Amino acid sequence: MKKTVALFGTSADPPTIGHKKILEELSKIYAFTISYVSNNPNKKHKEDISIRSHLLKTLIEDLDNPKILFNQSVSSQWAIESIKNCKKIYEFNNLDFVIGSDLINDIFCWKNFDKINKEVSFFILKREGYPIESSTLKMLETCKVKFKISNIKIPNISSSKLRLNFNYSNLPTSLIDIVKKNNLYISSKLVE
């Protein structure tokens, strides 16, 4: 049986205890989890990608799990490019592209969706407030999307929720000092 690898790209603006839980749980399922920070073309980011990638890298280093790899060189704002970069670097063909249930309906509009669909399976994380509708499941089947729905329980926190109601308890412990010393996210009552 070929090893399957999880590819987990995220805006990580900032990484939260939710990201930490996802990474920990993916490492129990997959041979490797490769993670990176990207600029989502549909979002306005609070911090520059270099800061966000430093935070995610710090989180992953703190997890100290050889099955969780941080590789920013995989990153692209386009999923298809990140997938191609990953396959070129690691020479893995069995990739599960990790997305939250909040993004399922968006994938059909992604740049080169047909190519993405041929390259990967999707590993869908259920997010509170974003149920997976039967009409969405039907659309996935119609488009012949390969997917699995995760049973991982994720804390109900997102980067955008954290920015709107900043609370250090929702940050991984390893990131608190960096965020405090650099005054990141504190005054971030963003209008999205």
pLDDT in tens, 6-28: 999 999 999 999 999 999 999 99
**DSSP letter string over 96-131?**
EEEEEGGGGGGGGGSTTHHHHHHH-EEEEEPBTTB-
Euclidean distance between CA atoms 35 and 90, whole angstroms: 13
Euclidean distance between CA atoms 108 and 94, whole angstroms: 21
Euclidean distance between CA atoms 73 and 145, whole angstroms: 27
- Domain assignment present for residue 192? The answer is no
pLDDT of residue 123: 98
- Domain assignment present for residue 190? The answer is no
Phi, psi of 191 (to 5 degrees): -100, 120
14 is in which domain, residue-wise? 5-181
pLDDT band (50, 70, 90) for residue 188: very low
- Domain assignment present for residue 115? The answer is yes
The residue that leads in pLDDT, 41 or 133, is 133
- Domain assignment present for residue 79? The answer is yes
Model pLDDT for residues 81-114, shown as the tens digit of each residue = 999 999 999 988 899 999 999 999 999 999 999 9
- Domain assignment present for residue 191? The answer is no
- Domain assignment present for residue 189? The answer is no
pLDDT of residue 192: 35
- Domain assignment present for residue 26? The answer is yes
The answer to whether residue 190 scores a pLDDT higher than 70 is no
CATH of the domain at 74: 3.40.50.620
Model pLDDT for residues 60-74, shown as the tens digit of each residue = 999 999 999 999 999
pLDDT of residue 142: 95
Query: How many independent structural domains does the chain possess?
Result: 1
Task: State both tokens at 51.
Answer: 């800061």
- Domain assignment present for residue 129? The answer is yes
